[in-house]
């Protein structure tokens, strides 16, 4: 059974940093495309960052470029999102997702609902 469990969310002041983690089990982690997504109240879920198997390719939404870094530790089956220079508008529930299909990752940052496996989310709240 595929499971993704996020952690690391919390409350932080604008300009601060957080590192989110997503630990996965139930499949061969290194074969999957992994992504971070977020959903703010009243808004649709949106893509934040994606990383390809092997970690050599990453892609970011414009809102995340220059501030967020996606990475992974295959030995620990864990995905990370380092978030720096946080802004009020980064406040959202953050989700990690996984999919083995390359075309899903190639669509990033749109069609987020095509991703196959999702975690339960971790809340990030940024105060201005």
Q: What is the pLDDT of residues 49-94, one digit of tens each?
A: 999 998 889 999 999 999 999 999 999 999 999 999 999 999 999 9
pLDDT bracket for residue 2 (50, 70, 90) = confident
pLDDT bracket for residue 29 (50, 70, 90) = confident
Percent of the chain with pLDDT over 90: 87
Phi, psi of 96 (to 5 degrees): -105, 155
3-state secondary structure 54-93: CCCCEEECCCCCCCEEEEEEHHHCEEEEEECCCCHHHCEE
Kind plus residue range of the DSSP H or E element containing 6: strand 3-7
How far is Cα 3 from Cα 76, in angstroms, rounded to an integer?
A: 14
**For position 26, what pLDDT does the model report?**
86
Closest CA to 52 of 5, 106, 95, 94: 106
Determine the average pLDDT of the residues in 109-126: 95
Looking at the chain, how many residues does it have? 128
**What does the radius of gyration of the chain's CA atoms come to, in whole angstroms?**
13
Angstrom CA distances, 14 to 25, 39, 50, 63, 69, stand at 33, 18, 24, 15, 17
Quick: pLDDT tens for 98-113.
999 999 999 999 889 9
Determine the average pLDDT of the residues in 23-38: 90
**For position 44, what pLDDT does the model report?**
96
**For position 77, what pLDDT does the model report?**
93
**For position 98, what pLDDT does the model report?**
96
DSSP single-letter state for residue 40: -
Determine the average pLDDT of the residues in 15-32: 91
């Amino acid at each position: 059974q595929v499971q993704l469990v996020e952690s690391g969310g919390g409350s932080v002041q604008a300009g601060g940093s957080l590192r989110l983690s997503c630990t996965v089990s139930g499949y061969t982690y290194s074969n999957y495309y992994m992504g971070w997504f977020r959903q703010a109240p009243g808004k649709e879920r949106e893509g934040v960052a994606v990383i390809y198997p092997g970690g050599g390719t990453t892609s970011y939404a414009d809102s995340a470029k220059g501030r967020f870094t996606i990475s992974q530790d295959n030995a620990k089956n864990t995905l990370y999102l380092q978030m720096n220079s946080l802004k009020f508008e980064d406040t959202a529930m953050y989700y990690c997702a996984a999919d083995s299909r390359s075309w899903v990752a190639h669509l990033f940052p749109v069609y987020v609902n095509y991703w196959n496996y999702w975690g339960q989310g971790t809340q990030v709240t940024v105060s201005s």
